[in-house]
Every structure is written in C-alpha cells, then in structure tokens.
Amino acid sequence: MIIALAQINPTAGDLAGNLRKVLHYVQRAAKEGAALVVFPEYALSGPVSRDLAMAPGFGRTRGRALSRIHQDARRTAVLLGHTAPGGASVASLLADGESRATFRAGERGAPVTVGGRRIAVVVGRCPVEEDASGADVLISLRRKPYVHRRAAAAEGLTSFRGKTVMQVNLAGGHGQRVMEGASWIRRPDGALAALAPRFEEDLITIDLDSPPSLAEPPATRPIERLWAAIRTGLRDFVLKNRFQDVVLGLSGGVDSSVVACLAADALGPERVTGLIMPTAFSQEAGQEGAASVAAGLGIRAYRLSIEKLRIECEDLLRPVFEGTERGTAEENIQARIRCLLLMAYANKRHAMLLATGNRSELAAGYCTLYGDLAGGLAPIGDVPKTVVWRLAEYVNQQRQVIPPFVIERAPSAELSPGQTDQDQLPPYETLDAILELYLDEKLPPERIIARGFDADMVRDVVALVRGADFKRRQAPPALRVYSDADPWPPVPLAGPVAPIEEFDDDG
C-alpha cells in the first residue's frame, strides 16, 4: 500500500483555488499509485478566522468543495484537513465516494481501516505514543508555524518503534505566519523514509510493503532557515494580496538593505523599487550604500532629494511652532515626507509598501507614526536588530551585496546632525537581551535585574515598551517568525501604561 503526503500552500478563504490545488495533488498521488493521499490541517480552507468559517456562504461553498473531492476519492482515498462549520479544525476521510470518518483537533479518534491497514489520525499536534494504540500507521495533520527561537532543527521528527509514523504540515506564508512544511515519514524501525523541503509545496510517498531508508538530513544553519522563512512569508503575503511589485525606502542602513535583499530574493529584482530620499542630515556614505545595494541587486532606484520639501514644511509651520525649541516634531517631518512619496509611488504603481523597521525599534517605540511605520507589511518587524546584522552577514556570504560600511556604521535615523540610535537607546546587544527576557521569557523587571542588568536601564526599557503600545497598534503587520506568539505586553488602550504596582492592603 502506497500513502502520499501532499504538503501544500493554500490561501485562506480561497476555497475554489484551494480545491483546484487539492484535486491536482490527488491526481498526482493517483499517478504514483497511492491508495491514500493525506493533506495538512486547514488544507481546503486555509487557516481562516472563526468569523469567516461561520459565515453561511463559506459553509455552503466548503460543502460543495468536499462533494467534488468525493468524486475523485472513488479511486484514491483522501484524508483532508479543513474547517468545520463552527470554526473547529477537522480532518475528513473520503473514500469510495463517501465520507468515512471525521477527526477533530484535540481528540483521539478510533483507528480506521484503509487498504487493509489500521490507521490512527491526530489533528493539530505532534503525535504521542498513546495515539498509535491499535494502529499500524499513525498520521498527524498540522500547521506548524516556523519559530526561530525553537532550538531543535528537527523538531517533530517523532518515531515509535513498530509503527509507521508520518506528519504532513502546511507550507508557505499565511498572513503573519509562515508554515514550515518539512513533512516527514518514519518506518516502523524509526528510520527516516521521506522528508519534504521546508516552506515549499511537495508530494512525498511511502510504500508500506517496501519502505526506503534515508540518511538523516544535515542540519541547516538557523540563520539560513530564518532567511528562507522571511523570504517565503514576504512572497506569499504580497502575492496572496494580489500585488506584484513592492517599494521601500532605501536609507543606506542595514535594515532597509536587508529588506531590499529579501524582496529581490522573494519576488525577483524586476518587481522591487527603492526610493533614496536624502536631506541635509543624510550622510553621503549612506546614500552611496543605498545606491550600491540597489545596483548589486539589480532593482530600480530613484534618488529624490526631500531637502527642499523639508525646509518648506518647517517654514510653513514656523508661526505655529513659535516659542518652542526645535526637536522631535521638526525631525519627524522628514520621515513623514518620505512616507508621502513612498505611498504616492505605491498608489501610482499598485505596489505594496514594505516597512523596514525591526523588532527592537518597534518594541522601544523608536519609529515614527505616519512615517517609517507606514506600509502594508513589515518583513523584519519581528526580528531583533542584532539578528538583522546576522542576516546582512548571511547575504554577503552568498554574494557581496551590502557594503561592509553599511553593516559596520553606527545605526542612525539621520534626522539631526550627528544623531545615532544610541543617543536614546541602550546598545542593541543589551537592548535585545533585555527584550528577549521581558517579551519572550515574560520575566518581570526584578528578575531581569537579578540576571545582572542595570536596574535603571531595565526599568527604562520596560517603560519604553509599554509606552510605545499606541504606535504598535498602528503599525503594519509583521511576519511572526521570531516569537512563538504576539510578544507585546497587555496595555490598556486608554489607561496607565506603567506596570501595575504592588500595594499594601492598608493603603
């Protein structure tokens, strides 16, 4: 008996398009001689919201799609993940033109017989030993989002002695999440029989009567996996939202350079445009670096000086600002002029604007509303600044694109003479270490301080994070590739942003 795993990349809510993809892979599996083809969790519906899953039209269309698959299931049985009318994640076994069984996420169903083999099915999680009871084959259907902070490169490659175990995962970008793929099959003796690539669609098979034995795959570098995850998420976010081209501001800094490289890798350089928008405060080296990156990638680039616009805006506002010191309001005019030009290009060319900020800046609020925060997607918005530097180094290990001085020079928003990020922030190595403990490990300030960090610095960072919540609420969606879940602390929309203080019962 041959079983096929179809690792596919559906689009959320596109039942017609997903149906065509499912039928294509059913036909491919049939040509391989498969008696059963297995699809991942949410394969038919895509990972949709509960509200959409409960919409009457969605339910009717889902029912018609399942009926269409029933017809093909007369030749090859189909185990298909989808969304139930109530929004739950389920899998249906379709065989002999009818629905044979339904499996729900979080439940352990009784094994079913297909092709003379007893098959147990779990939905939405890694299989455990108890799931295999009474079965010859154990199959897990999952989404499995990619998370960079997971240490184990081969997480989920589970084996149970005496059972054939397999897991089929979604692949590709799905909104802010990137599904890892890497579906696998293990023989009863624990040996690897098949392994699909990360992030991309594929069909893998096993003949249960003569299963092959493969060598364990070599471990890939974490930074290589992170690059592939962001590239995949960026590509699918843009294309699934029916854009073809993207535009971004090129400052000559490491963040915009890395995003430009990711966009060119994901979509092709012909679909990427960079705008270089200097003022009197922009360093010549930064402009040269931006132009060098654009030329190295082969993307379109336009140099649009905004100095005249900056001066005219400040002159126009001078009577309104009379009696005040020059400060952040004047500095941020530059960021907002750049946003105006970028959005004008995006509207005119039907391009998606990519925001180039990183997680460290977003956490601390070191970004400008209606300025550099504007965009349809923030590809590295969940990536710490220190990791962005490693991504830049990874780029140059493949091909020298980013000039070394772009990576090495002090980070700066270049909104005033001689300005650097560290005028207002701790060194990024320290900032990211504190943010890791506060946002990802969920440690309170006192426990972070106990790790040896300066007490005032920790409290200042926590205050920055909580005080910047209003900016993050208006930021573009970031690809969630570094953190397991939304890392931001809960802050009232209207209320105190400081952490809740302990108080004595008597006052």
Q: What is the pLDDT of residue 260?
A: 98
Q: Quick check: 153 pLDDT over 50?
A: no
301 or 157, higher pLDDT: 301
Chain segment 183-192, per-residue pLDDT in tens? 999 999 889 9
Chain segment 133-148, per-residue pLDDT in tens? 889 999 999 999 999 9
Q: What is the pLDDT of residue 8?
A: 98
- Classify the phi-psi angles of 286: left when phi > 0, otherwise alpha if psi is within -120 to 50, otherwise beta: alpha
In a domain, 261, yes or no: yes
Q: Quick check: 503 pLDDT over 60?
A: no
> 84 has which bridge partners?
none
Domain that holds residue 128: 2-219
Match 């019962």 to its residue by tokens: 505
Query: pLDDT exceeding 90 applies to what percent of the chain?
Result: 73
Q: How many CB atoms lie within 10 A of CB 329?
A: 13
User: Residue 129 — pLDDT band, cuts 50, 70, 90?
Assistant: confident
HSE, side-chain direction, 13 A CA sphere, residue 250: 33
Chain segment 428-461, per-residue pLDDT in tens? 999 999 999 999 999 999 999 999 999 999 999 9
49 or 402, higher pLDDT: 402
156 or 209, higher pLDDT: 209
In a domain, 461, yes or no: no
Chain segment 398-416, per-residue pLDDT in tens? 999 999 999 988 777 666 7
Lowest mean pLDDT among 30-39, 92-101, 193-202, 448-457: 92-101
- Give the pTM: 0.93
In a domain, 276, yes or no: yes
In a domain, 433, yes or no: no
In a domain, 352, yes or no: yes
Overall average pLDDT of the 117-132 stretch = 84
Q: Amino acid identity of 444?
A: P
**CA-CA-CA-CA torsion for 263, 268, 272, 276, nearest 10 degrees?**
80
Give the residue from 356, 391, 416 where a domain finishes: 416
Chain segment 237-287, per-residue pLDDT in tens? 999 999 999 999 999 999 999 999 999 999 999 999 999 999 998 888 889
CATH number, domain at 398?
3.40.50.620
User: Residue 152 — pLDDT band, cuts 50, 70, 90?
Assistant: very low
Q: How many CB atoms lie within 10 A of CB 104?
A: 14
Same domain, 253 and 397: yes
Same domain, 10 and 120: yes
Give the residue from 181, 200, 219 where a domain finishes: 219
Overall average pLDDT of the 415-430 stretch = 82
Same domain, 143 and 61: yes
**Short-list 488, 475, 235, CA closest to 357:** 475
Same domain, 109 and 19: yes
Q: Quick check: 115 pLDDT over 50?
A: yes
Query: pLDDT exceeding 70 applies to what percent of the chain?
Result: 95
Overall average pLDDT of the 22-36 stretch = 95
Which of 73-77, 276-280, 421-425 has the highest average model confidence (pLDDT)? 276-280
Give the residue from 416, 450, 480 where a domain finishes: 416
Same domain, 377 and 256: yes
Same domain, 287 and 141: no
Overall average pLDDT of the 53-68 stretch = 85
In a domain, 180, yes or no: yes
Same domain, 146 and 241: no
Overall average pLDDT of the 305-315 stretch = 96
Name the domain count of the chain.
Answer: 2
Q: How many CB atoms lie within 10 A of CB 298?
A: 12
Same domain, 151 and 270: no
Q: Quick check: 349 pLDDT over 60?
A: yes
User: Residue 487 — pLDDT band, cuts 50, 70, 90?
Assistant: confident
Same domain, 144 and 274: no
Same domain, 186 and 262: no
Q: What is the pLDDT of residue 498?
A: 63
Q: What is the pLDDT of residue 506?
A: 53
Overall average pLDDT of the 378-384 stretch = 97
CATH number, domain at 144?
3.60.110.10
Q: Quick check: 507 pLDDT over 60?
A: no
User: What 3-state class would DSSP assign to 126?
Assistant: coil
**Short-list 196, 354, 180, 347, CA closest to 267:** 354
User: Residue 49 — pLDDT band, cuts 50, 70, 90?
Assistant: confident
Q: What is the pLDDT of residue 221?
A: 92
**Short-list 203, 238, 216, 229, CA closest to 375:** 238
Q: What is the pLDDT of residue 158?
A: 60
Q: What is the pLDDT of residue 279?
A: 92
Same domain, 266 and 317: yes
User: Residue 496 — pLDDT band, cuts 50, 70, 90?
Assistant: low
Q: What is the pLDDT of residue 80?
A: 96
Tokens (6 digits) for 41: 């969790």
Question: Is the CB of residue 41 less than 8 Å from the CB of residue 105?
Answer: yes
168 vs 186: CA distance, rounded Å: 12
Q: Kindly give the interhelix angle for 254-267 and 385-398, rounded to the nearest 10 degrees.
A: 50
Q: Quick check: 182 pLDDT over 90?
A: yes
User: Residue 482 — pLDDT band, cuts 50, 70, 90?
Assistant: very high
Question: Is the CB of residue 358 less than 8 Å from the CB of residue 380?
Answer: yes
In a domain, 11, yes or no: yes
User: Residue 159 — pLDDT band, cuts 50, 70, 90?
Assistant: low
In a domain, 348, yes or no: yes
Q: What is the pLDDT of residue 125?
A: 81
Question: Cα dist. 81→17, 117, 208 in Å?
Answer: 15, 20, 22
Same domain, 309 and 380: yes
Q: What is the pLDDT of residue 440?
A: 93
